[in-house]
Amino acid sequence: MPARSPYLPYLLIAPSILFLAVFFLWPFAQTVVMAFTVDGQTSTGNFARMAADLNFWPAMGNTFALVIVVVPLQVALALTMAVMIQKMTTGRDIVLWIWTIPLGISDLAAGLAWLAILSNNGYFNTVLFHLGIISGPTGWLSYETPLTLFFAVVVAEVWRATALVFVILVAGLQLIPKEYAEAAEVFGASPWQRFRHVTLPLLKPSLQSALILRTVLAFEVFAVAYALGGRNIPILVGEAYTWMNANQNTGVAAAYAGVVLLVSLASTIVWLRVIRVRREHLP
């Protein structure tokens, strides 16, 4: 390239590196330091205090249960929707738009929307009332009904964040040349065989990144649960928030944050292992 200095690319990436160093790497290290510091001394005291906290194990359990229930549901639903949209001819644009609207909706707003539906005298109960299933306002979101509260969070999460998986999968499907499916069709594959032997393997990279992104974000779930149940359903990030804001204890909050960062990283590694993407096996 004429008249271009060899330093130009470094000059171009430098600002973003600097930024990521200050706002990603540094606070990352800082979290670890804070988590292991009590009163200026290096100590595992924050972790001991966190583990002894009444809410810690329920928060762990709830967070993992949410991830384990929500993520597979979202992927299955998004995959179904992506395949449905592939076949669509009329009205495809409008359906695409509708199905992707939740992508722009915050977890807080999603929690509030489902609060309107699931609250004691909300729309869900109204439907049940008209069907004769219940006789009056009924509570689903209190600490007395942990199971229904949990599923309320699951529903709100599936409602809100399936769109992200859907968009990634549709984009991935668009990258697969049509000829592969046609070849499979000509060589006798039924629609299911085509999906199983051709589409799904070629969609692996998109599936992988959807799973990584969604799992990491699901570990971060916070406002949905908070909007629906307050602290009735404790989860890890929510506890970090409480320790930081209400209890003013940065050390324990940092310990919680450390746990979240660790499980996120672990889940990413798991997905990278489980779904092996071999670049040379892609078109």
Partner 1 sequence: MTARRVLYVSGVLVLCAWVLVPIYLIALGGLGGRLGVFRWPKEFLPTGASVDAMLTFLQIEGVWNAAKNSVIAAGLTMVFSVVLGAPAGYALARFAFRGQDAYRLLVLLTRAFPLAILALPLTVTFIRVGLYDTPLGVALVHTALALPFAVLVSASLFMGIPREYEEAAWVFGCSGPGAFLRIVLPLALPGLAATCIFAFVISWNEVFAASLLTVRERTLTAYLLAVLAESPPHFRYAGGLLLVVPSVVFIFAVRKYLFSLWGITNR
Partner 2 sequence: MADIQIDRIVKAFGTVVALEEVRLDVPDGEFLALLGPSGCGKTTLLRIIAGLETQTSGRVRIGGRDVSDLPPRRRALAMVFQNYAVFPHMTVAENIGFGLRMRGDDAATVRAAVGRAAELLKMTPYLDRYPSKLSGGQRQRVAVARALAVEPAVLLMDEPLSNLDALLRLEMRAELKAVLREAGTTTLYVTHDQTEAMGLADRIAVMEKGRIVQIDRPAALYRHPRTRFVGGFVGTPPMNFIPVVAAGGRAMIGPLAVQAPVRDGPVLMGVRAEDLDLTDDDGAAPLMVRVTEPMGSHLLVTGEAAGVTVRAMAPADADLPAGRPVGFRPRPERVVWMDPESGQALEMRA
Q: Where along the sequence are the contacts to partner 2 (CB under 8 A)?
A: 177, 179-180, 182-190, 193, 197-198, 201-202, 278, 280-283
Nearer to partner 2, 206 or 242 (CB): 206
Token pair belonging to 222: 């916070």
Backbone region of residue 37 per phi and psi (left: phi > 0; alpha: psi in -120 to 50; beta: other values): beta
Nearer to partner 1, 156 or 187 (CB): 156
Residue 38 phi, psi dihedral angles, 5° rounding: -125, 120
Determine, following the binding rule CB under 8 A, whether residue 4 of this chain makes contact with partner 1.
yes
Residues 260, 238: Cα–Cα separation, whole Å: 11
Choose one: 38-46, 66-74, 109-117, 177-185; the region binding partner 1 (CB under 8 A): 109-117
Among 50, 181, 184, 227, binds partner 1 (CB under 8 A): 227
Q: Which residues contact 268 (CB under 8 A, 6 or more apart)?
A: 212, 215, 216
Identify the bridge partners of residue 37 per DSSP, sorted by sequence position.
Answer: 42
**Least gap, CB of 266 to partner 1 (angstroms):** 9
Partner whose footprint covers residue 188, from partner 1, partner 2, none (CB < 5 to 8 Å by kind): partner 2
Partner whose footprint covers residue 192, from partner 1, partner 2, none (CB < 5 to 8 Å by kind): none
Residues 66, 51: Cα–Cα separation, whole Å: 20
Partner whose footprint covers residue 202, from partner 1, partner 2, none (CB < 5 to 8 Å by kind): partner 2
**Least gap, CB of 243 to partner 1 (angstroms):** 9
**Least gap, CB of 50 to partner 1 (angstroms):** 14
**Least gap, CB of 61 to partner 1 (angstroms):** 19
Residues 278, 201: Cα–Cα separation, whole Å: 10
Among 68, 133, 171, 183, binds partner 1 (CB under 8 A): 171
Task: Report the candidate in 58, 213, 55, 69 with the shortest Cα–Cα distance to residue 152.
Answer: 69
Determine, following the binding rule CB under 8 A, whether residue 50 of this chain makes contact with partner 1.
no
Determine, following the binding rule CB under 8 A, whether residue 180 of this chain makes contact with partner 1.
no
Residue 65: Cβ-neighbour burial (10 angstroms; 0-12, 13-18, 19+): middle
Partner whose footprint covers residue 185, from partner 1, partner 2, none (CB < 5 to 8 Å by kind): partner 2
Long-range CB contact pairs, 74-80, < 8 A, 24+: 74/157, 74/158, 74/161, 74/162, 74/165, 74/214, 75/165, 75/207, 75/210, 75/211, 75/214, 77/158, 77/162, 77/165, 77/166, 78/162, 78/163, 78/165, 78/166, 78/169, 78/210, 79/169
Nearer to partner 1, 187 or 276 (CB): 276
Among 63, 125, 199, 242, binds partner 1 (CB under 8 A): 125
Among 161, 216, 233, 235, binds partner 1 (CB under 8 A): 216
Nearer to partner 2, 69 or 275 (CB): 275
Residues 256, 51: Cα–Cα separation, whole Å: 10
Among 3, 52, 131, 246, binds partner 1 (CB under 8 A): 3
